[in-house]
Structure 1
Amino acid sequence: MKLKVRLSILFAVVFAGITLLLNAYVYISYADFRREEFFQRLRIKAVNTLHLLEDLQEIDPEKLRAIGQNTLNPLYEEKIYIFDNQHQLVYSSIDSNHAVSYSERLLHQIEEKQYIEYIDAENQHEQIGIKTKYKGHDYVILASAYDNVGRRKLQNLIYSLLIASFVGIVIGAVTGYIFMQRAFKPIEVLSYNIKSITERNLQQLVPVNPSQNDEITELAYSFNQMLQRLDAAFDSRKAFVRHASHELRTPIARMMSDAEQALNKNLTEQEYKAVLQVLVKDLDQISELINSLLLLSRTAKLERVDGLKPERIDDILFETIDKAIGVRPNLKVSVEFLPQDLENSDLFALSCDKSLISTVFMNMLENAAKYAPDQKVNVYLDEDDEMIYAYFVNGGKTLSPEEQGYLFTPFFRAANSASQVGHGLGLSICNRIARYYGGYVQYSISAEKENQFLVTFSKKIEGKNYYTEI
């Protein structure tokens, strides 16, 4: 069931409920008013009859009964009984041929409470009992009547309210549905425009009316922004595939060419060894590229891992330096600690995956070894209450502002890397790992015109779900 239909039904149900509650209130209020008004009329009629009986004692009761029935606005099925203080019947509004039924218990109850009123459950007659005193005499009056006119009005009110409720509910339901149709029309248009957008035309944006400042317009703006991000992600993914294919195709093509030449020629053993050495070198390059791609894929979506034990960043750094020197014996690394309180065991503690932090440091050290003429890198460690900072400073040609803008883009290689073997993935991997730990990698040119990379990690974040497009 569509949302607009559900909301229309909900609106109709709520409107019907409110209408019925209001009508019920009107009916109950009128029913109470009718009952109270009729009891008042009956009370006045009973008291006036007593006064007339006392003031005209010389008149025969039969004549008084006739006067009461013809001149005092008789009520439907009216019955009035007047008793003296001895409970002797002194007046009855019906003739003496009709038996008068009452109980002593009822008369005593009236004398005790002074006034009672109730509705007979059998015949629905309103009945009252009054204890009163007039001209020095005590009297008990019983009166009953049937509110024929009032009950007919009440019944007519029920019919009128039911008809009005039905008509009102129908009108409300139709009006609500029409209103929902108009309210959801922009959403239907937006849905139609969204369905027309596929992966082939992500540049096609949803039309937006700037003059309308409502939630639908905000949704359309948000959707267009998402389309732009998706389009950029698709372009980035295509560029990634294109660069990866190029990086793989070059060594593979070179290997195929060397292998074909070796097969087509009669080479000596030394020449075959030379060809195999070239093939091994190309295979190493492919293996390095595949490992980098796997690591890049791993860091594309890192899941939060709880319960990691704290690791000291300086210990990881020294272990990584030993590995880097083992690979590049000419690498020279100096480490300097900027904080003064080096006795604190929690100074550089970070809850982290040790292998990820080591990967960052290894990439930084290898970059310095590649691009620094003297293969020397200075490392500075610093920290504060929230962050850990690692500075990697090395000589060599610095980057231009244009190159700095693409520094963390996969497969980007600056002009100073033309003579170096690599694929341009290291800094992108480092930046993703640093961002996973609430930090970043930043490049700058130091005051001494040297390359300076700042790597930061947050002490407050143990790791969070992080995703970035390749």
Structure 2
Amino acid sequence: MKIRNKILLYFSSTVIGLTLVSFVVIYYLFSEYREEEFQQQQHDKITSTVRLASEYKKQSEQLSLLLDRQDINDFYDEKLLIYDESKQLIFSSIDNLEIRRANDILYELSPNTRWIETKSGEYDVVGVYLEYEGKPYYAISKAFDSQGYSKRDFLGKLLTGLFVVFTLVVWLITRHLSNIISRPIVALSEKMSGIVVEDSSTIAISTSTTELKNLTDKFNELLARTRESFVFQKHTVHHISHELKTPVAILVSELEKLQKEDDIGRIKQQIHRLTGNTKSLGSIINVLLEISKIDSGQKVLKKPVRVDELLFDSIAELNRIYPEYTFELNYPSDSFDEDRLYIPANRLLVKQAFQNLLLNGVTYSDNGKVEVLIGFPEAGTLRISFTNHGRPLSEEETRFLFSHFFRGANSRNKTGFGLGLVLTHRIIRLHSGRIEYDNPTGDVNRFVVDFTI
């Protein structure tokens, strides 16, 4: 069912149902009030008749008849019976209306049971025990509340008409409101169905509803992450299928040349160099596969990892492959808690990110040296900076630093695939971290990585 129809159905049925219940309650309460009011009128009539009958009972029968003829006009279709203390009939109205169960009601009346009310069809029947000038009297009245029923019937017709009109008005208003409410949702749905992942467009709808604005923002965020994952995988596949094919072919060619080489020293040197390149290439492929698993929906498996130990391991591995490079790791001069060196991380991914930054630093430095500094700039933040001395990047190059296959002007005559910093940036973000590049002085390059601890 469409959301517009659901709003129309739920809202209108709720309001109409509540209105119906309210009208029924009003009608019921009026009916009860009519009955109570009419029975009170009967009681007043009985009291007045008993008083008059007591005062004039010794006078002529003609006087009592005149009294009855006057009183009978008070109610439409009424029968009134009055009994003395011995429950002997002393007054009866002149009409022929029969009171069934009159003897039963008379029998039940007593000083302890002064009021009995019942119904006989649409007639109200009441039995009353009362005392006047110290003498007890019993009275039974049966009457038809013509005026009260007329008012009740008019109220019923009025409420029925109002309910029909109100139902129509509520349905029309609800239909209009449901169209207004569902319009941005329909627009959002239509725009979502037309989204192409490869495009850089986002969704924007005109609405003042906070929830819809948040939904649109969240969808755009999801779309951005999906597009990033799609582009990353697309470039990764392209890179593996095209870019890595060349270095693999070079490795095969170099190995074939080694088969013809007779100089043992030269063979060892070439094997050592090719082994390092192969390991580096294999590490990148492993990280790509790991990130692909994460993009497919698998969660990043994180465990507490001590950052300085991970850096020492990365430096040790790079030193075995590149012994000519120098890595210097420093701690802040002030004292610190070692527990603050732990972060929740995937060891394989973060280690690859550190290796990429270390290798990038020495590759583009003038002296083959990278300085690593661990610090705590503020509470809850662990900062690792990688600094080298060399030609800095321009402002324009900095904008594309973490783009696929981008290589700056300082990368000429340098080996590489233009993927290391992209992988690093992606890994840091997967760990809710942040990486930035800055150029504090003319010949200094620095990458700063912040983790939340």
What TM-score bracket applies, with the shorter chain setting the length? 0.7 to 0.9
- 2:422 aligns with 428
| Structure 2 residue 97 is matched with structure 1 residue 101 | no
Q: Distance in 1 between matches of 2:403 and 2:103?
A: 107
Matched to 1:346, the amino acid is: D
Cα contact 1:389–1:457 (8 A) shared by 2: yes
Q: Distance in 2 between matches of 1:166 and 1:404?
A: 70
SS of structure 1 residue aligned to 2:115: strand
Structure of greater relative contact order (alpha carbons < 8 Å, 6+ residues apart): 1
**Scaled by the length of structure 1, what TM-score is found?**
0.75
- 2:137 aligns with 140
- 2:28 aligns with 28
CA shift, 1:423, in A, is 0.9
Cα contact 1:20–1:165 (8 A) shared by 2: yes
Q: Percent identity?
A: 23
| Structure 2 residue 137 is matched with structure 1 residue 127 | no
Q: Distance in 2 between matches of 1:336 and 1:222?
A: 42
- 1:449 aligns with 443
CA shift, 1:427, in A, is 2.1
SS of structure 1 residue aligned to 2:438: strand
- 1:305 aligns with 301
- Cα-to-partner distance string for 1:196-227 (whole Å, 9 max, x where unaligned): 55457x46777866xx7566994897599569
Matched to 1:399, the amino acid is: L
SS of structure 1 residue aligned to 2:290: helix
Matched to 1:145, the amino acid is: K
Matched to 1:393, the amino acid is: T
- Where does 1:47-446 land on structure 2 (aligned, <5 Å)? 47-61=47-61, 64-65=64-65, 67-70=67-70, 72-93=72-93, 101=103, 105-108=107-110, 111-112=111-112, 115-120=114-119, 124-133=123-132, 136-149=133-146, 150-151=148-149, 153-155=151-153, 157-181=155-179, 183-185=181-183, 187-188=185-186, 191-192=189-190, 194-198=192-196, 202=199, 213=208, 218=213, 222=217, 229=224, 233=228, 247-248=243-244, 250-251=246-247, 288-289=280-281, 291-299=283-291, 301=294, 303-305=299-301, 308=303, 310-341=304-335, 345-346=338-339, 348-383=341-376, 385-446=379-440
Q: Distance in 1 between matches of 2:319 and 2:128?
A: 115
CA shift, 1:327, in A, is 0.8
Cα contact 1:190–1:220 (8 A) shared by 2: no
- 1:462 aligns with none
Q: Kindly tell me: are residues 371 and 203 of structure 1, through their superposed partners in 2, closer, same or farther at Cα, counting changes over 3 Å?
A: closer
Q: Kindly tell me: are residues 317 and 326 of structure 1, through their superposed partners in 2, closer, same or farther at Cα, counting changes over 3 Å?
A: same
CA shift, 1:240, in A, is 6.0
CA shift, 1:131, in A, is 1.0
Q: Distance in 1 between matches of 2:366 and 2:220?
A: 45
Matched residue count = 438
SS of structure 2 residue aligned to 1:129: strand
Matched to 1:139, the amino acid is: P
Q: Kindly tell me: are residues 290 and 121 of structure 1, through their superposed partners in 2, closer, same or farther at Cα, counting changes over 3 Å?
A: farther
- Cα-to-partner distance string for 1:65-100 (whole Å, 9 max, x where unaligned): 35413554153453333333444433233599x997
SS of structure 1 residue aligned to 2:339: coil
**Scaled by the length of structure 2, what TM-score is found?**
0.77
Matched to 1:83, the amino acid is: Y
Q: Kindly tell me: are residues 270 and 378 of structure 1, through their superposed partners in 2, closer, same or farther at Cα, counting changes over 3 Å?
A: closer
Q: Distance in 1 between matches of 2:325 and 2:95?
A: 133
Q: Kindly tell me: are residues 48 and 381 of structure 1, through their superposed partners in 2, closer, same or farther at Cα, counting changes over 3 Å?
A: closer
Matched to 1:118, the amino acid is: E
Q: Kindly tell me: are residues 377 and 122 of structure 1, through their superposed partners in 2, closer, same or farther at Cα, counting changes over 3 Å?
A: closer
SS of structure 1 residue aligned to 2:112: helix
- 1:465 aligns with none
Cα contact 1:126–1:147 (8 A) shared by 2: no
Q: Distance in 1 between matches of 2:28 and 2:410?
A: 92
Cα contact 1:82–1:141 (8 A) shared by 2: yes
Q: Distance in 2 between matches of 1:443 and 1:95?
A: 110
SS of structure 2 residue aligned to 1:125: strand
- Cα-to-partner distance string for 1:102-123 (whole Å, 9 max, x where unaligned): 5665332xx235x424124677
Cα contact 1:255–1:279 (8 A) shared by 2: no
Cα contact 1:131–1:141 (8 A) shared by 2: yes
CA shift, 1:417, in A, is 1.7
- Cα-to-partner distance string for 1:389-447 (whole Å, 9 max, x where unaligned): 33333223222222222222232222222212111222222233333333333323344
Q: Distance in 2 between matches of 1:388 and 1:205?
A: 34
Q: Distance in 2 between matches of 1:84 and 1:46?
A: 13
The answer for unaligned runs of 5 or more in structure 1 is 263-267, 460-470
Q: Distance in 2 between matches of 1:178 and 1:139?
A: 69
Q: Distance in 1 between matches of 2:185 and 2:236?
A: 36
Q: Kindly tell me: are residues 249 and 282 of structure 1, through their superposed partners in 2, closer, same or farther at Cα, counting changes over 3 Å?
A: farther
Cα contact 2:38–2:145 (8 A) shared by 1: no
Q: Kindly tell me: are residues 425 and 236 of structure 1, through their superposed partners in 2, closer, same or farther at Cα, counting changes over 3 Å?
A: closer
Q: Distance in 2 between matches of 1:127 and 1:449?
A: 110
The answer for unaligned runs of 5 or more in structure 2 is none
After TM superposition, the structure 1 stretch with the greater mean CA deviation from structure 2, 189-198 or 76-85, is 189-198
Q: Distance in 2 between matches of 1:230 and 1:316?
A: 28
Cα contact 2:185–2:212 (8 A) shared by 1: no
